Amino acid sequence: MNGPSRRRCLDLIKPYEPGKPVEEVERELGLSGVLKLASNENPLGPSPKALEALKKDLDRLHFYPDGNCYHLKRALAKEYGFSPEEMVIGNGTDELLSLLALAYINPGDEAVTVDPTFSEYTFALRLMGGVPRPVPLVGDDFSYDFAAIAAAVNERTRLVFICSPNNPTGTVVDREELAEFIASLPSGVLVVLDHAYIEYVAGSAHPDGFDYIRQGRPLIVLRTFSKIYGLAGLRVGYGLAPAEVIADLNRVREPFNVNTPAQIAAAAALEDEAHLARSLELVEKGRLQLAEGLKRMGLKAAPSGGNFLFVDVATDSRKLFEALLRRGVIVRSGDIFGFPTHIRVTCGTEEQNERFLQALQEVLR
C-alpha cells in the first residue's frame, strides 16, 4: 500500500490483548457454557437499579449526550463532596489515561510506573511519544518500593502512576508511605492514583487521595463503573482532581465522550447500595475460597485487595491458560505481564470459583 507511514512512536506500541470474550472461545473451540474469569468483571452482573433506569430513557437516544454529564456529576458530588469542576467523566478510565497523556506528555517526557501493572499507562504514554520508567514491585507480595519510585523521578517526569489495588498483583499501597512519597515529589509532577478496584479493599489503611485534591495538590484519583458496579460494557470512568487539572483534561476531551445510557446507568448504580454490598461480600468470600483451594494444590496467591488473584502456578502459564480454555475456563496468562509462570484469575461466584479450581487441578495433574 502507498499510504502514509505511521508515526514512529507507534512502532513501540503492541495492540492490547484483552481477556478472551466468552462467545469467541465458544465459537473457536465448539464449547458452550464457557466461564470467563479473565477481565475482573462483576459476576453478579450490572446493578439492577442501573438496568431499571436505562429502560426509562431509551426514547431519548436521538439526542446527543449531555457533554457535561450534569446528572452523573451531581450524583458523584453527593457521594464524595467534590464540585463538578473537580470531576471529569470518561469513556471508561481507559479514555482518561489517554486524556492525561494528551494533556501532559510532550515527546520525550517521562512517567514513572511500576512493573507489573496495568498496560494502558504505557500505551497512553507511548501514543504521545512519552517514555515509561517502570520500577519493579518487590518481594513475594509485590510491594511498592517508594524509595526506588522516588529515585526514578527526574526533571523530565510529568506523571507517576500508582495503581492500588494494582492490576495484576492486587497490591494495595499504604497511606503513610504514599503520603511520604508525595511529599518528596518535585513540583511539575502529577500523581495518578488509579482506584479502579478500590471498592474491594478492606480496612482503612489505604489512601483515598481526597485530601490532596481538597488541598489543590497535583493528584488525580481515577475510578470506574466497570468493576464493582458491573457496567464494563457501557464504558464509564471518572477522575477527581483539582479544578486546574480537570480544566486541562477538558481541553483535550471530545465533546460527547460519554454516551447517554452510560451516564444514566452510572448515576443509578452509584446509589444501588444493595448491589454494591452483595458484590463486595462475594469478592471477600471469593478471595478466601480461591486462596484456600490454591493452597490445597500447593499454590499461593499474592495478597490481593482487588477482585482477582495473581498466582504463581510454577509452570508455563500460556500452556496452562490454553489447557484451561479447552475446559471452558478463561483466565489471564501472566506472560502478557512479563510473568510467564503466573496467572491472574477473577473472583467469581462460589460455583464459578469451584469450577475454576477443579479445572486447574485437572490441568496441573
Ligand X SMILES: Cc1ncc(COP(=O)(O)O)c(C=O)c1O
Footprint of ligand X on 136-175 (CB under 6 A): 163, 167
Q: Which residues of 3-42 are buried (b: 16+ CB within 10 A; e: fewer)?
A: eeeeeeeeeeeeeeeebbebeebeeeeeeeebbbbbbbbb
Query: How many of the chain's residues bind ligand X (CB under 6 A)?
Result: 13
Give whichever of 92 and 363 is closer to ligand X, judged by the CB atom.
92
Per DSSP, what are the bridge partners of residue 112?
Answer: 133, 160
Task: Tell which one of 42, 47, 93, 157 touches ligand X (CB under 6 A).
Answer: 93
- Yes or no: say if 265 and 231 are a contact pair by the CB < 8 Å rule: yes
Verify binding: residue 259, ligand X, rule CB under 6 A: no
Stretch that binds ligand X, among 23-31, 91-99, 184-192, 246-254 (CB under 6 A): 91-99
d(CA 128, CA 123): 9
Give whichever of 96 and 320 is closer to ligand X, judged by the CB atom.
96
Verify binding: residue 317, ligand X, rule CB under 6 A: no
DSSP state string for 101-113: HHHH--TT-EEEE
Verify binding: residue 194, ligand X, rule CB under 6 A: yes
Per DSSP, what are the bridge partners of residue 180?
Answer: none
CA 68, 72, 74, 78 torsion-angle sign: negative
Stretch that binds ligand X, among 73-81, 86-94, 99-107, 201-209 (CB under 6 A): 86-94
Binding mask 218-247 for ligand X (x = CB under 6 A): ------x-x-----x----x----------
Task: Tell which one of 104, 118, 144, 310 touches ligand X (CB under 6 A).
Answer: 118
Give whichever of 237 and 305 is closer to ligand X, judged by the CB atom.
237
**Residue 11 gets which letter from DSSP?**
G
The residue nearest ligand X at its CB is 92
Verify binding: residue 40, ligand X, rule CB under 6 A: yes
Verify binding: residue 92, ligand X, rule CB under 6 A: yes
Strands (DSSP E) contained in the chain are 35-36, 87-90, 110-115, 131-136, 157-163, 190-194, 219-224, 237-240, 300-301, 308-312, 329-330, 332-333, 342-346
**CB of residue 83 vs ligand X: minimum separation in angstroms?**
22
Verify binding: residue 198, ligand X, rule CB under 6 A: no
In the structure, how many helices (H) and strands (E) does the chain have? 13, 13
State yes or no: cis peptide before 186, omega within 30 of 0.
Answer: no
Stretch that binds ligand X, among 63-71, 92-100, 242-250, 338-346 (CB under 6 A): 92-100
Beta strand pairing status for 157-163 and 308-312? Answer: unpaired
- Where do contacts with ligand X occur on this chain (CB under 6 A)? 40, 92-94, 118, 163, 167, 194, 196, 224, 226, 232, 237
